Structure 1
Amino acid sequence: MADTYSQIYIQVVFSVQNRKALIHESWEDELYKYITGIIQNKGQKLIVINGMPDHIHIFIGMKPNCCLSDLVREIKKSSNSFINEKQFTTIPFYWQEGFGAFSYSFSHIDKVVQYIKNQKTHHQKKTFKEEYLEFLEKFKIEHKDEYLFEWLD
């Protein structure tokens, strides 16, 4: 009987609702561990996770039987509940609607991992908006500005 073999590597990027800087470094590791558990419980492989107070990057090795939008929906829904139940913020926490998903080949894994690990250094030079628009341009993704994240300028 034949089996299925694949290499699917996806970087997922999404933002805190209204781009509020609510993810605090005092609890971000706990959030990342929680999200790691969600991904692993869904049978997927987390390669690296990191972010900033207002957004997150998740790099996943995916199996072909996984629906990415269902996985991201579960990550957002469950982590919203986790953050609010733990009362990590003084105001209700929500992720913004939508997400970016960008695929990579095996040969790019190390570069993407380093990029995600260095988010805090990277964002000293570039805003999240600049970074996200650069992704859309690099991957030649057509978009309408009114359907992108709500930016705080």
Structure 2
Amino acid sequence: MREPFTQLYLHLVWATWDRMPLIRPDLRQAIYGCIHKQVTKHRCQPLAIGGMDDHVHVLVRFHPMARVSEVVQHAKGASSHLVTQVLDPGGFFKWQGYYGAFTISKQQAPHVRDYILRQEEHHLGGTAIETLERIFHHRDPRPRVRRTVEAPRVRTTSRRIDMDAILALDVDRRISLVTAIWESIAAENPAPRLTDDQRSELQGRIAAHERDPSSAIPAEDALRRLHEKFG
């Protein structure tokens, strides 16, 4: 045996930037083909590639010398370059910076392969696997801290909350309450579909930042200015 015998199977998942629907039908096969080529360059065996318009799944049998981070980095980088420089010059296409990687057994591989190749069917039929499909719902990969808001008792009539009690809270507590509400909405519906105008505006802002990164300011400075202005 000239090489170690291994059975290293990984199910990789990564999403488009901000879960935007960037993997258009006319681009999909070319993107998948590019990912397939990059995986094989690392002496790995791609067993299935599939997904939806905002994320991709890849089942790979890894070579023992291959590094997961490098395989994913090259697959994402090459496919992004293919879209923006060849398939749709001037258009916007970008992957999120992080990814998910799940080890599976050889016995599980056929089932995972079938799941990946039938992504559209699973999503439309409501049979998608929750732990895999929700991994990229939040933009920040760090653990989220649940916020608690101390509020006075609110009077309710027929399940309707008394807005006067909410408005009686001080500004900091109202902001905390609004933040908690937005986070709960994001958890339940984290990938709203953008309108064409919203997508165009986002693409324009990202392009402007890439042309002149110095025009942006750190988040800490933005928060400091807000506190200085509003207290």
TM-score (norm 1): 0.82
In the alignment, the residues of structure 1 paired with residue 60 and residue 134 of structure 2 have an alpha-carbon distance, to the nearest angstrom, of 20
Q: Distance in 2 between matches of 1:63 and 1:53?
A: 29
Give the partner amino acid of 2:191.
Answer: L
Task: Report the 3-state secondary structure (helix = DSSP H, G, I; strand = E; otherwise coil) of the residue aligned with 1:51.
Answer: strand
Letter in 2 for 1:6: T
Percentage of pairs with the same residue: 24
Hey, what does 1:51 align to over in structure 2?
Answer: 51
Alignment of 1:1-150 (within 5 A): 3-88=3-88, 91-126=91-126, 130-132=130-132, 144-145=143-144
2:191 aligned with 1:152: yes
Q: Could you say what secondary structure the match of 2:73 adopts?
A: helix
TM-score, length of structure 2 as denominator length: 0.56
Please report the RMSD computed on the Cα atoms of aligned residues, expressed in angstroms: 2.8
Q: Is the Cα contact below 8 Å between 1:22 and 1:89 reproduced in 2?
A: no
Query: Structure 1: which 5+ residue stretches go unaligned?
Result: 136-142
Deviation digits for residues 8-27 of structure 1 (CA, Å, limit 9, x no counterpart) = 00010000001000101122
Structure (1/2) with the larger strand percentage: 1
Higher helix fraction (1 or 2)? 2
Q: 2:68 is aligned with what amino acid? A: L
Map Cα deviations across residues 18-60 of structure 1 (whole Å, 9 max, x no partner).
1000101122111111111111122110000011000000000
* Runs (5+) with no aligned partner, structure 2: 136-141, 146-186, 193-231
Distance in 1 (alpha carbons) for counterparts of 2:17 and 2:127: 16
Q: How many residues align?
A: 144
Structure 2: distance between partners of 1:46 and 1:2: 22
The structure, 1 or 2, with the larger RCO (C-alpha pairs under 8 Å, 6+ apart) is 1
Q: CA 1:132 to 1:145, structure 2 compared with 1: closer, same or farther past 3 Å?
A: farther
